[in-house]
Amino acid sequence: MRSGRALFRPSGYDHSMVSTALRILGARALGRNLPLMVLFFVTYRCSRRCAYCAVWRRPAVEMPTGTILDLVDQMAAMGIQRLSLLGGEPMVRDDIGDIVSRAKRRGLTVNLLSNGHRVAERIDTLAGLDFLSLSIDGPPQLHDAQRGRGSFAETMAALEAARSRKVPVWATMVLTNHNVGAVPEVIALARQAGFQVTFQPVMPQALDARNAVELAPSRPAFVAAMDQILREKQSGAPIPMSSDVFRFMKRHWGLDAGAGPSRPGAWHADALRCHAARLFFSVAPNGDCHPCDFLHDIPDPPNAVAEGLAAAVARMRAPDCGGCWCDSTIEANQIFSLRPGPILNMLRLLW
C-alpha cells in the first residue's frame, strides 16, 4: 500500500505558487491535460510482502536508466513540477540516485516512497530529495505483522539516516482492523522523532491490493481513529494533511466511498471531481501512462517511450471512477477543486 505522495512537501516548495495556480486554472478552463505532478513507478519489484499488497507479482519489465533520465528531461520541458518515485520498492534499483539527481538538476521537486529498504546504506545517493516517504503501521509488533519481520527496524534505520542528512521524512500509517487502535502511538512517535505523519485506510482500489476486505477496519473503529487524528491535529501534532481529508473519510468510510470504476461512490455524493490525467498522472515501469496509479490495467494505454511523453499525456483521458481512499489523492483533488480548507492548509505548510 503506497502513500505519502503529497502534492507539496511539508517544509517548502520549489515552484512559484502563481505558476502553480495558473496551471490549475488553465487546465480547468481549457479542458486540457496540464499536469503538475507525476507518480513514476520505476519498478514493480519489492523487497517486502505486505499483507495488503501484491504489486511484486507484476511482470518486472522496466525501462533502462537512460530512458528514464530522458523522460525526466521531458517532464521538466513540459512544465511538470513534482515527481514522486515509487514502486514496488524503488530502492531495489541501483540507479535510483542517478534518477533523483537528474530530476533535481532539472528543477523538479522530488520525493521517494520506500519501505526503508537499503535507505540507510545508500542515504548519500538520496541526499538531494525534497522529502522521503516511509511507511509506519504502528509500533514494532504491529508494523512487522503487516509488513514482514524486521521491517520496523529497517524503517527506523532509514528514518535516522534521513535525519542525519537533513532529508525531511513524511510517514504514512495504513489503517487496518489490526492497527487502527494504535494511531496515538504513531503520532507520539512522530512527535518524538520529528517526522510528519498521515493516515489512510487499506484500499481495495489499490494496484494489486489483496486481503483489503478482510483487513478493512470497522466503521466504528475507523470513525474513532479519525476523531483522534482530528483532535491531535488541532493540538499541533505533525499531521500535514488537511482536516478536510479526514472529515471526508470519516463521513464515508464503510458506506459507499471508492465503489470502483464506473460505479457511484462517495466522491460523486460529495461532488468531488477527480483530476487524474488532467493535473496528475502515473507512469508504469515500462513507460505506459495512466490517469492514476490505481488504474494500471486500462487497456491500450499511451506509452511515453514509443510516443513521447507530451503526446502520451495528451492522449490520456480521466477515468470514470467512484473514488478512492488515498489520502494525498483526496487532498490534491480538494485543492484542484478550489476548496478553501485544503488550500489554506497547503499555504500553512508552505509558510
Buried b (16+ CB within 10 A) or exposed e, 245-259: bbebbbebbeebbbb
Q: Flag whether pLDDT at 21 surpasses 80.
A: no
- The predicted pLDDT at position 172 comes to 94
> For 147-187, how does the pLDDT look when each residue is reduced to its tens digit (9 = 90+)?
999 999 999 999 999 999 999 999 999 999 999 999 999 99
Contact 110, 127 (CB under 8 A): no
Contact 319, 311 (CB under 8 A): no
Give the residue among 272, 274, 276 at the shortest CA–CA distance from 251. 272
Distance of CA 84 to the CA centre of its chain: 7
Measured from the Cβ of residue 157, the count of other Cβ atoms closer than 10 Å reads: 16
Q: Flag whether pLDDT at 10 surpasses 80.
A: no
- The predicted pLDDT at position 23 comes to 58
The grid coordinates of residue 197 equal 505523519
Residue 315 burial (C-beta neighbours within 10 Å; 0-12, 13-18, 19+): middle
Mean pLDDT of 217-223: 93
Q: Report the percentage of the chain scoring pLDDT > 70.
A: 85
Mean pLDDT of 60-75: 96
Domain ranges of the chain: 17-350
What DSSP string describes 1-24?
------SSBTTB-SS-HHHHHHHH
Stretch among 194-198, 203-207, 211-215, 323-327 having the lowest mean pLDDT: 203-207
At the second CATH level, the architecture of 17-350 is Alpha-Beta Barrel (3.20)
When the pLDDT of each residue in the chain is averaged and rounded to a whole number, the result is 86
Contact 186, 229 (CB under 8 A): no
Q: Flag whether pLDDT at 301 surpasses 80.
A: yes
More confident residue, 13 or 94: 94
The structure's pTM equals 0.87
